[in-house]
Structure 1
Amino acid sequence: MRLTRRGWTVVAVVLAAVVLSWRFGPRALNAVVVPLVVALLAGVVTVGRTDRPHVVRRPVAEGFIGEQRTVEVTIEADGTAAATVRDVVGNGLSATTAPRADTTLAGEETISYDVRLEARGEHRIGPLSIAVSDMVGLVERRFEYEETTPVVVYPRVRDLGGGPAVDIRTLASVADRHVDEEFDHLREYHRGDPLRDVHWKTAAKQPDDELVVAEYATDGDAGTVTVAAECLTGNDDEMASAAATVATFLLEQGATVAVTVPDGTRPPGSGNAHHRDILQLLAVAEPGELADRTRRDADVLVRTDGDGTTVVVDDREIPFARLRGRDRADGGRRNNRHRTANDGRRDRETDGQPGVTA
């Protein structure tokens, strides 16, 4: 408990009045000093008897960069007291309305304000403080609440509609594979067939090195696709965005998708809940290198290094910038330094996409 600036002003006035009363007599100043002293003492008693308010934080929904969320805090007080409520907005978020409220606590009250999601990751809102004062504002008592609210911000999901058709078909082809297929027959290799379907032992025996592709009996269901992602530089945001884009695209194709990054994995699955699980994993993915076996077994490998981000399918390297149709005219990779503050804001997220809405 402490005096406010107004409270210290009252103390200064009272002290000055005491000095003046010693020189000119007390009667003329009683009308000023006595009410101020009574108000100050009343404030000390009132604030000192105030119980600690109970605070309940409401969960904040996850979302994509650029979206807004409402933060709600419910405060329960036994008595009535003037209060100033202040909250802390952590890095990666920005308050679009003030995270502060001057109010009178009486029973239950909900304080709310809005924040904008600025950067990928798991961020924090809080801690919160409540400064309770008397009605005149002379004495203040501050209550601190260390509890924070997590806010998960997903990586950007890019639109692949502007990429070259051959690259899109190459990526889409992995969604048509089946993990529980039975061998049916061999046939000649046709341009565009995935290299992983080539039957190399038989092809080695063919004249003129002709390739042979294995055909399998299918049941019409898409098989499991494993997406692995690694980042060898500090540009893990780009790696996470590329992996999220690829996984979302494959889920839209009807595939069952598993995702692995150096610090975590999500098992095969499909549907809205699984899509959110993948985005949650990629929201907090950090730089790192995959194990050789993980890299080798992946159907799709997303790799970010000093040259940019590449999507590898069947040993074919596709620059991610080209895949999303934002590559430079020479077809080279584009580094993060070429991006602007507005880059990607018009890319679709996942709202309205069948089966993958986050």
Structure 2
Amino acid sequence: MTITARGAGLLACAVLLLVTGFWFGYAELALLGVAAAIAVGCAVGYAAWRPRLDVTRVAEPDRVSRGESATMTLTVRNSGRLRSASLIAEDRCGNQPVPVPLLRLRPGHDTTGSYPVPTHRRGVVTIGPLRITGRDALGLMTVARSQGGTAEVLVHPRIHPLAAVPAGVTRSLDGRVDRVPHGSITFDSLREYVVGDELRRVHWRTSAKVGELMVREHLDTSLPRLVVLLDNRAAAHPRLVDGVAETFESACEAAASVVAAAYREDLPVVLLVVADDSDPATGGAFLDRLAAVTLRTEPAGSGDGPLRTVARRLRQDRLGDTLVFLTGPGARADLGQLGALRGAYPSVVVGMFGAEGRPAPDAAGLVVLDAADGAEFAAEWDGVRRW
């Protein structure tokens, strides 16, 4: 509850008139002081009245990709029985105020309004609570209260279709590492029958054509296991435009694209964030996590640093056979730490966004995709001939 300048002036006049009227015996001045005091008291009583409002929010939809449309529908109901609510209401949509008209909202009635949710940036848009401002007819007192809870709309990064997926890796008994197409037991070729071959592997149609027994040759393949490592260190994305690191937004789009491609091909995939202590995302919450992830600044005296810590974890756990590291121009000097993981991850792909020039010399052996944004990364990814 806040008293306005008009209310403070009237209250001061009321005190002055009452003191002057009683001190000097002027009944007229005392009467004016009493009237002013009554007006201030009525304003306080009006401001103290709390309307009974029920606030309901529905986001349609509550999860969208960046740039898609989303609408918030707000319903306010006056559940009181005696008085109409004539208030000024304002909803919060992110950092933007949204006016909500509540003029003459009668008891038992409701009003519904809708407005678009800004989705031009990836992130979590928090909506609410509804802020209600009431004031008396003379403008002496104002009161502002929060009504209802909050809702969230998750804006996922854009997904760029990827046509290619990495090859799986299988280790033979003599220590070699072979790259094979993803799948299970897959047909490879036909060859002539030799003594000892199983008859169920004979391809009878081809055998009838060539006049001799032909046997199907199969390839024992391995499913590729992808590990996507997103670099959210502020030092890796030093360039900010209006407070937003576009290279980091592009890295998030690339991560979402790789995860979506893996899901499309039914491939196991793990999402890790460099400066994040939470467990790796392996379920259906990849996009939600990518919507909520933010840049983090490394504190002074942080020891080995988050990248070295996560690299040590990757070396110990060996979560997959293909590591995809997505970072910005500030991590050029850190690629050597990724090169040290080649023993645990036969395929290491680095997506570097916003870099100018060639990668560092210690990036030898890595597949480096230098891209300006997520769309260019998708084109570079599909152009990789050997993983």
Structure 2-normalised TM-score?
Answer: 0.54
CA distance in 2, matches of 1:224, 1:74: 50
Residue 244 of structure 1 corresponds to 256
Kept in 1: contact 2:58–2:74 (CA 8 A): yes
Where relative contact order (Cα < 8 A, 6+ residues apart) is larger, the structure is 1
Kept in 1: contact 2:17–2:29 (CA 8 A): no
Residue 192 of structure 1 corresponds to none
Shift of 1:243: 1.8
Kept in 2: contact 1:71–1:112 (CA 8 A): yes
Shift of 1:21: 5.1
Kept in 2: contact 1:72–1:111 (CA 8 A): yes
CA distance in 1, matches of 2:352, 2:373: 11
Q: In the alignment, residue 77 of structure 2 is paired with which amino acid?
A: E
Kept in 1: contact 2:255–2:326 (CA 8 A): no
Q: In the alignment, residue 216 of structure 1 is paired with which amino acid?
A: L
Shift of 1:68: 5.8
Q: 1:125 to 1:159 in 2, by over 3 A?
A: same
Residue 3 of structure 1 corresponds to 3
Structure 1-normalised TM-score?
Answer: 0.57
Q: In the alignment, residue 131 of structure 2 is paired with which amino acid?
A: S
CA distance in 1, matches of 2:4, 2:148: 23
Residue 301 of structure 1 corresponds to 323
Moved over 6 A (4+): 345-349
Residue aligned with 1:320, SS: strand
Residue 281 of structure 2 corresponds to 265
Q: Deviations over 1:195-216 (max 9, x none)?
A: xxxxxxxxxxxxxxxxxxx853
RMSD across aligned C-alpha pairs, in angstroms?
4.9
Q: Deviations over 1:309-346 (max 9, x none)?
A: 99x99945544259xxx87575789xxxx99xxx7498
Residue 133 of structure 1 corresponds to 135
Shift of 1:244: 1.0
Q: Is residue 2:288 matched to residue 1:280?
A: yes
Q: How is 1:146-185 mapped onto 2 (pairs within 5 angstroms)?
A: 147-158=149-160, 171=165, 177-181=181-185
Residue 75 of structure 1 corresponds to 76
Q: How is 1:57-206 mapped onto 2 (pairs within 5 angstroms)?
A: 57-59=57-59, 61-66=62-67, 69-77=70-78, 78=80, 79-89=83-93, 93-95=94-96, 98-101=97-100, 103-104=102-103, 106=105, 107-110=109-112, 112-117=114-119, 119-145=121-147, 147-158=149-160, 171=165, 177-181=181-185
Shift of 1:231: 4.1
Q: 1:172 to 1:152 in 2, by over 3 A?
A: same
Q: Is residue 2:287 matched to residue 1:256?
A: no
Kept in 1: contact 2:226–2:320 (CA 8 A): no
Q: Deviations over 1:10-45 (max 9, x none)?
A: 323434544665669444896x66765554443333
- Could you tell me which runs of 5 or more consecutive residues in structure 1 were left unpaired when the two chains were aligned: 161-167, 188-213, 268-273, 350-358
Residue aligned with 1:291, SS: helix
Q: In the alignment, residue 266 of structure 1 is paired with which amino acid?
A: T
Residue 351 of structure 2 corresponds to 320
Kept in 1: contact 2:225–2:268 (CA 8 A): yes
Q: In the alignment, residue 286 of structure 2 is paired with which amino acid?
A: I
Q: Deviations over 1:143-192 (max 9, x none)?
A: 335833223232343576xxxxxxx75x4667x944432575699xxxxx
- Could you tell me which runs of 5 or more consecutive residues in structure 2 were left unpaired when the two chains were aligned: 169-179, 192-216, 238-247, 273-278, 295-305, 364-369, 379-387
Give the structure with higher Rg (CA).
2
Residue 216 of structure 1 corresponds to 219
Q: 1:71 to 1:296 in 2, by over 3 A?
A: closer
CA distance in 2, matches of 1:282, 1:233: 11
Residue 56 of structure 2 corresponds to 56
Residue correspondences, number: 283
CA distance in 2, matches of 1:43, 1:177: 78
Shift of 1:76: 2.3
Residue aligned with 2:84, SS: strand
CA distance in 2, matches of 1:9, 1:72: 41
Q: In the alignment, residue 138 of structure 1 is paired with which amino acid?
A: L
Q: In the alignment, residue 269 of structure 2 is paired with which amino acid?
A: V
CA distance in 1, matches of 2:268, 2:262: 10
Kept in 1: contact 2:324–2:348 (CA 8 A): no
Q: 1:231 to 1:99 in 2, by over 3 A?
A: same
CA distance in 1, matches of 2:136, 2:62: 36
Kept in 2: contact 1:82–1:135 (CA 8 A): no
Shift of 1:257: 3.9
Kept in 1: contact 2:326–2:351 (CA 8 A): no
Q: 1:130 to 1:94 in 2, by over 3 A?
A: closer
Q: 1:55 to 1:241 in 2, by over 3 A?
A: same
Determine what percentage of the aligned residue pairs are the same residue: 20
Kept in 1: contact 2:187–2:219 (CA 8 A): yes
Q: 1:225 to 1:112 in 2, by over 3 A?
A: farther
Kept in 2: contact 1:54–1:76 (CA 8 A): yes
